[in-house]
């Protein structure tokens, strides 16, 4: 049964030139999980809000449970459950008080309320925490409470806006289990996400990009189109990054990433496998066909990957190979009150290495990161960059490193050119060096057409590119990148990794945080962060091998992470 029908939906917001949604059609069926997938700015939240009756469309028609949400919202509010981003909870109310409020608002009273509460509390495992304030719950528990609130009044349509954000992988799996159960009871579940692995797990998916619908249907139908085109190249000797870059230059190849020791290559339609030797790849390279992923299909729909060149890296001067430990953390701890955001973390990063910190939001990655760039003072422990103690002379260390903050750190009201000029000045470049640096960044990132645009009007992908340009302006030997690819589309993510790979080839040392499990595969070594602790530190392949079992011989990075967390908690 169809729970929602969208036809030609269009929505434009005042003051924005591009429509948030443009001519989107599709269906949401009862009893299945429908994914609304796409990068930031794709129009996911707008679509969810239209279905929840919180926005009125400009064009097209929308029917939810047989009614028009813009004129018959009153009737629908009891039948549609909606969990907004950030869960919509009152943080200063307890678990039970939040539930009671929503129960009262949805006319769930008396025996029905007692029954529903008991059922939801056991369903979400929140029964032991009914008196705890919602603000004091972990990300995963908040999400479950948000879900429980949206489930009061037994909705026929359940709208979940980015429920996977800010939640550790174990809680995310649990949520999937719960959502599957609800779909099994006949509820139509809509799950919006920017994670393509989540989209792949949905029964049906509406794939959006920049307000347009790219695909509607079963994810397997989309990935099926890519069958035979996705390959692993194993046995590569020497530098994998150089090999990847060489393959991406081949006309047969549309996309490629590093996956641990292997290269993962996607071919153009009907293209033959390129000869590794012809691309100058050493060792005993061997092709093996692998299952396509949703992301491969998405990139194919967007017209293929960005190639393997990085103008930024090409313009960079090579650094001498020293293989010394340039970044050292020793028993690094940061307390906020009695909460340890970073708990006795130790690692060392060698020159010319990509070191990744992997973990869900709130695990303590950014806190650790900020201590390493001298932005936060550690409560105890040692943080050193190029032998400079960050407690003693953070500014001297900062001269040698580039930092790209997690949140957009440019001046939104300034034009792109002014932002570039400002950051070249901040790093104290001489006038002529500053001019050269700005020009080189404009060339490397193809910013010429946007120079006079106001920065805040640009898409997230371009903002992130400019932020990276600003961080590289003074040719730092070390780059700190805090979630550089969060929320951007997969093609832009590829482009970012091209730059990162290229810079490392030039001898730049890179420390990066990410909560994309697959991105961790680009790193030489990764540290898994969970509840402020570094629970594992090894090359990605070793981590996956450590988690392999007979039941799961070829685990993904996420499988490995979950396995390692479980082992940690068991010990």
Nearer to another protein, 49 or 494 (CB): 49
Of 24-32, 48-56, 384-392, 466-474, the window that binds another protein (rule: CB under 8 A) is 48-56
For residue 54, the minimal CB distance to another protein (Å) is 5
> Does position 365 bind another protein by CB under 8 A?
no
* Interaction of residue 91 with another protein, rule CB under 8 A: yes
Q: How far is the CB of 94 from another protein (least distance, A)?
A: 9
Tell me how far, at minimum, the Cβ of 136 lies from another protein, in Å.
12
Residue 90 near another protein by CB under 8 A:
yes
Give least dist CB 105 to another protein, A. Answer: 4
Question: In this complex, which beta carbon is closest to another protein, that of residue 163 or of residue 356?
Answer: 163
What is the SS3 string spanning 108-121?
A: CCHHHHHHHHHHHH
Which region among 85-93, 119-127, 178-186, 355-363 touches another protein (by CB under 8 A)? 85-93
User: Residue 54 or 548: which CB sits closer to another protein?
Assistant: 54
463 conformational bin, left if phi > 0, alpha if psi -120 to 50, beta if neither: alpha
* C-beta neighbour count of 80 within 10 angstroms: 26
Least gap, CB of 71 to another protein (angstroms): 11
The answer to whether 145 contacts another protein (rule: CB under 8 A) is no
Nearer to another protein, 106 or 465 (CB): 106
d(CA 206, CA 160): 14
96 binds another protein (CB under 8 A): no
Residue number with CB closer to another protein (19 or 359)? 19
**Of positions 29, 56, 344, 506, contacts another protein by CB under 8 A:** 56
Q: How far is the CB of 147 from another protein (least distance, A)?
A: 12
* Interface with another protein (CB under 8 A), residue from 30, 63, 100, 459: 100
Asked if residue 125 binds another protein (CB under 8 A), the reply is no
Cβ–Cβ contacts within 10 Å for residue 452, how many?
9
Nearer to another protein, 77 or 350 (CB): 77
Q: Residue 147 in contact with residue 163, Cβ under 8 Å?
A: yes
Sign of CA pseudo-dihedral 455, 468, 519, 175 = negative
Determine the Cα–Cα distance for residues 564 and 530; give it in Å rounded to an integer.
10
Task: Give 275's DSSP letter.
Answer: P
DSSP β-bridge partners for residue 335: 340
DSSP string, 119-149: HHHHHHT-GGGTTSBGGGS-HHHHHHHHHHH
Q: Name the 3-class secondary structure at 236.
A: strand
- Residues binding another protein: what is the number (CB under 8 A)? 34
Q: Which of 22, 28, 38, 87 binds another protein (CB under 8 A)?
A: 87
**Segment interacting with another protein (CB under 8 A) among 101-109, 281-289, 313-321, 439-447:** 101-109
Torsion 86-90-94-95 (CA) sign: negative
Q: Determine the Cα–Cα distance for residues 53 and 64; give it in Å rounded to an integer.
A: 9
As measured in angstroms, the least distance from the Cβ of 146 to another protein is 8
**CA gap 123, 119 in Å, rounded:** 6
Nearer to another protein, 80 or 345 (CB): 80
* Residue 105 touches another protein, criterion: CB under 8 A: yes
Pick 161 or 168: Cβ nearer another protein: 161
161/518 with CB nearer another protein: 161
- Residue 438 contacts residue 427 (beta carbons within 8 Å): no
Q: What are phi and psi of 288, to 5 degrees?
A: -145, 130
- The helix (H) or strand (E) run that includes residue 197 is helix 196-201
Neighbours of 448 (CB within 10 A): 9
Question: Which residues, numbered 6-25, are part of the site for another protein (CB under 8 A)?
Answer: 13
Burial letters 187-215, b for 16+ CB under 10 A, else e: bbbbbbbbbbbbbbbbbbbbbbbbbebbb
Q: Which of the ranges 21-29, 47-55, 246-254, 439-447 carries the binding residues for another protein, by CB under 8 A?
A: 47-55
- In the window 149-178, what residues touch another protein (CB under 8 A)? 149
Distances (CA, A) of 196 to 66, 95, 212, 298, 534: 30, 31, 17, 9, 26
Q: Binding of another protein at residue 394 (CB under 8 A)?
A: no
Pseudo-torsion of CA 237, 242, 248, 251, nearest 10°?
-80
Shortest distance, CB of residue 166 to another protein, whole angstroms?
A: 13
Question: Tokens representing 530?
Answer: 């969970």
| Angle at the Cα of 166 from the Cα atoms of 534 and 373, rounded to 5 degrees | 50
What is the 3-class SS of 320-376, one letter each residue? CCCCCEEEEEEEEEEEECCEEEEEEEEEEEECCCEEEEECCCCCCHHHHHHHHCCCC
Beta carbons within 8 Å of 207's beta carbon, 6+ residues apart: 37, 38, 199, 213, 214, 215, 216, 222, 298, 301
| Helical residues (DSSP H) of 430-549, grouped into ranges | 431-444, 460-472, 490-505, 540-547
Q: Work out whether 114 is an interface residue with another protein (CB under 8 A).
A: no
* Comparison of 76 and 523: residue with beta carbon closer to another protein: 76
Distance CA 411, CA 483 (A): 19
Q: Which of 44, 102, 494, 499 binds another protein (CB under 8 A)?
A: 102
Residues numbered 63-82 forming contacts with another protein, rule: CB under 8 A: 73-74, 77-78, 80, 82
| Residue 319 in contact with another protein, rule: CB under 8 A | no
Q: Figure out which of the listed residues 3, 4, 52, 147 binds another protein, where binding follows CB under 8 A.
A: 52
Q: Which of 8, 61, 104, 324 binds another protein (CB under 8 A)?
A: 104
- The answer to whether 109 contacts another protein (rule: CB under 8 A) is yes
CB of 59 to another protein, least distance (A): 14
Nearer to another protein (CB atom), residue 104 or residue 331: 104
Beta carbon nearer to another protein, 89 or 404: 89
Of the chain, the end-to-end C-alpha distance in Å amounts to 48
Closest CB to another protein among 148 and 388?
Answer: 148
Binding footprint of another protein on the chain (CB under 8 A): 13, 49, 52-56, 73-74, 77-78, 80, 82-93, 97, 100-102, 104-107, 109, 149
């Amino acid at each position: 049964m169809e729970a929602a029908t969208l036809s030609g939906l269009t929505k434009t917001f005042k003051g924005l030139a591009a429509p948030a949604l443009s001519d989107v059609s599709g269906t949401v069926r009862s009893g299945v999980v429908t994914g609304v997938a796409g990068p930031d700015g794709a129009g996911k939240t707008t679509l969810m809000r239209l279905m929840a009756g919180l926005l009125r469309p400009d064009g097209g028609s929308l029917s939810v449970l047989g009614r028009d949400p813009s004129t018959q919202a009153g009737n629908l509010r009891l039948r549609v459950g909606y969990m907004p981003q950030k869960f919509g909870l009152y943080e200063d109310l307890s678990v039970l008080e939040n539930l009671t409020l929503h129960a009262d608002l949805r006319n769930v009273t008396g025996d029905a309320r007692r029954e529903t509460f008991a059922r939801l509390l056991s369903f979400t495992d929140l029964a032991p925490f009914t008196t705890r304030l919602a603000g004091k719950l972990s990300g995963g528990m908040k999400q479950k409470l948000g879900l429980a609130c949206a489930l009061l009044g037994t909705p026929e349509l359940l709208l979940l806006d980015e429920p996977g954000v800010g939640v550790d992988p174990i809680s995310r799996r649990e949520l999937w289990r719960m959502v599957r159960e609800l779909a099994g009871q006949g509820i139509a579940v809509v799950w919006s996400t920017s994670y393509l692995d989540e989209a792949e797990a949905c029964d049906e998916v509406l794939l959006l990009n920049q307000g347009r619908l790219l695909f509607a249907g079963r994810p397997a139908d989309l990935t099926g189109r890519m069958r035979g085109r996705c390959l692993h190249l194993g046995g590569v000797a020497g530098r994998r990054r150089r090999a990847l870059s060489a393959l991406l230059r081949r006309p047969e190849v549309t996309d490629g990433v590093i996956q641990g020791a292997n290269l993962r290559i996607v071919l153009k339609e009907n293209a033959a496998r390129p000869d590794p030797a012809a691309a100058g790849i050493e060792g005993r390279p061997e092709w093996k066909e692998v299952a396509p992923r949703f992301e491969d299909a998405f990139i194919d729909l967007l017209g293929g990957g960005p190639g393997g060149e990085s103008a930024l890296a090409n313009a960079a001067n090579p650094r001498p190979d020293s293989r010394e430990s340039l970044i050292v953390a020793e028993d690094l701890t940061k307390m906020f009150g009695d909460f340890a955001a970073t708990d006795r973390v130790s690692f060392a990063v060698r020159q010319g290495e990509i070191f990744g910190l992997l973990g869900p939001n709130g695990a303590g990655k950014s806190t650790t990161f900020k201590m390493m760039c001298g932005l936060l003072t550690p409560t105890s422990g040692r943080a050193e960059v190029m032998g400079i103690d960050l407690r003693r002379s953070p500014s001297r260390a900062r001269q040698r490193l580039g930092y790209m903050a997690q949140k957009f750190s440019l001046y939104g009201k300034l034009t792109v050119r002014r932002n570039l000029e400002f950051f070249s000045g901040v790093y104290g470049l001489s006038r002529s060096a500053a001019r050269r640096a700005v020009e080189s960044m404009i060339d490397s990132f193809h910013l010429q057409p946007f120079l006079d645009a106001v920065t805040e009007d640009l898409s997230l992908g371009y903002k992130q590119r400019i932020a990276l340009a600003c961080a590289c302006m003074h040719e730092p030997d070390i780059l700190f990148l805090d979630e550089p690819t969060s929320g951007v589309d997969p093609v832009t993510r590829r482009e970012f990794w091209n730059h990162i790979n290229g810079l490392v080839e030039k001898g730049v040392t890179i420390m990066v945080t990410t909560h994309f499990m697959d991105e961790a595969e680009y790193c030489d070594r990764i540290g898994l962060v969970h509840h402020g602790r570094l629970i594992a530190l090894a090359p990605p392949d070793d981590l996956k091998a450590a988690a392999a079992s007979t039941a799961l011989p070829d685990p993904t990075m996420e499988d490995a992470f979950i396995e390692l967390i479980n082992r940690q908690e068991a010990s």
